[in-house]
Amino acid sequence: MSIIEIAGGIVLLLSTVLIIILCLMQDQKQDQNMTSAITGGSYDSAYSKNEGNTKEAILKKWTKWLAIIFFIVTLVITILPVYLSSTPEG
């Protein structure tokens, strides 16, 4: 194993654990359905209008960036050793 594969594996493990933690920290999104129409439940509050500044928005942003990092590192670890190997496979 090369240093790139080891470093990539460490980054993959860290990003995977962080994605799991961030997903567990986020609140479940409840759909507005007929029950909320009957009971008067509404999501139009001052809290929902400031979504960009909330803890939920920050968690979503970090989850998105960690997922992008995860996929890029996965591709690099998968593709790069093929180009760096000097012996043909066979």
Band (2; pLDDT cuts 50, 70, 90) = confident
SS3 11: helix
The string of pLDDT tens digits covering residues 7-47 is: 889 999 999 999 999 988 887 766 555 555 566 555 555 55
What pTM, to 2 d.p., does this model score? 0.64
Residue 27: closest CA among 56, 68, 2: 56
The string of pLDDT tens digits covering residues 40-88 is: 555 555 555 565 668 888 888 999 999 999 999 999 888 887 787 765 6
Written as six digits, the tokens of 35 are 């029950």
